[in-house]
Chain A
Amino acid sequence: MSPKKIVQKSLEQHLDLIAICDHNTAENAAATLREGTRQGVAVLPGMEICSKEEVHLVALFNNIEDTLKMQEYVYAHLPGKNQPEVFGHQVVADEHDQVLGENPRLLIGATQLSLLDIVEKAHHLGGICISAHVDRPSYSLIGQLGFIPEDLHLDAVEVSYRVPLEKALTEVVGISDYPCVTSSDAHFLHDIGKVWTEFVLAAPTLQEIRMALAGTEGRRILSDT
């Protein structure tokens, strides 16, 4: 997916705010932020990080600088080299759809970081952590670890497009104790806008999202598709 086309598709789908969360990397976030600014879509930088328990966590940050600090932490604990013929090419592109290079790391792999390590580091950098696709059997917190650990200070849980949120809330044990959002987890352009979450915010920023998840000062989750 090119940064330019991601932003264009988001506009077509009437999305005001999107997040770029590549697997264990954030090297394509900056270009998408710049393109979003140009075309009028707010873009939050982040990563979908795979813990050593093989649980996927979405970490979102206020700015590129903090995101790149998280990336540095992840890279320091991410073993392996990519095999493009097996896992595909991991292209880094700019907002003009020019390929800048290829990421040689095994981004599909798991880090050697625990869930606790990842959540603590993300919080330390001013970010938030969302447990990804909790309704799924693979790479989800509940699939891998059976239930949500009490000491894990998640900011929210994410339900995938495959299950309506209402259904997930009754069927996935324990998630109703957390703020629940739903998002497309788009891996292809045609996935963008498949589902979304509506928030009441004063501005499309991470700080406002944080307030909405906590339900403070009038900010809140309005509805999920």
Chain B
Amino acid sequence: MTVKDVVEKFDLTVAAGQSGLDREVMDGYCGDLLSEIMGNAPAGCAWMTVQGHQNIVAVAVLREMAAIVITGGQTPDDETVQKADQEGIPILQWPDSSFSLAGRFFSAGIGNLATK
């Protein structure tokens, strides 16, 4: 499933990084401590976080993520949008919690539990 497919399926808003919408979403990850994400997030994941600081883009590039989803109705900072556009990392927005979106991901077969 591509980022674009995920956006359409779960009715997410694209806030930045349009050019990366064809990336493949292979997994998911949740967390707000960037020091922890930097060490543990899997490649190809869609990362759900409430952080909107521009450092999230650098972390997504470092971990070769498919996309960032800013959850809980939070918004990316202006600098974050600029960086994500430059790097082609899609930033999506979801008004509800990371938990609720993660559940939808699993139901759709993203990050299959059997392979974990």
Contact = CB atoms under 8 A, between A and B. Distances in A.
B79 A145 contact: no
A114 B32 CA distance: 15
Nearest to A117: B77
A149 B58 CA distance: 10
- Which 5 pairs of residues, A with B, have the shortest CB-CB distance? A146-B34, A145-B55, A146-B38, A145-B34, A143-B35
Given A53-B51, A149-B53, A114 B34 contact: no
A213 to B, nearest CB: 24
B90 to A, nearest CB: 20
Given A116-B79, A145-B55, 6 more contacts: A53-B51, A116-B77, A143-B33, A144-B32, A144-B35, A146-B58
A114 B53 contact: yes
B54 interface: yes
Interface of A: 52-54, 114-116, 137, 142-147, 149, 151
Interface of B: 32-35, 37-38, 51-55, 58-59, 77, 79
Nearest to A143: B35
A146 B59 contact: yes
A151 B53 CA distance: 12
13 contacts: A53-B51, A114-B53, A115-B53, A116-B77, A143-B35, A144-B34, A145-B55, A146-B34, A147-B34, A147-B58, A149-B53, A149-B55, A151-B79
B53 A53 contact: yes
Contacts of B37: 146
A137 to B, nearest CB: 7
Nearest to B77: A114
Nearest to A137: B35
A75 to B, nearest CB: 22
Max count, chain A CB within 10 A of own CB: residue among B35, B54, B59: B35
Contacts of A115: 53
A143 to B, nearest CB: 5
A54 B53 CA distance: 11
Contacts of B34: 144-147
Max count, chain A CB within 10 A of own CB: residue among B32, B33, B54, B55: B55
Contacts of A149: 53-55
B77 A146 contact: no
Contact of B35 (A53, A54, A116, A146): A146
Contacts of B35: 137, 142-146
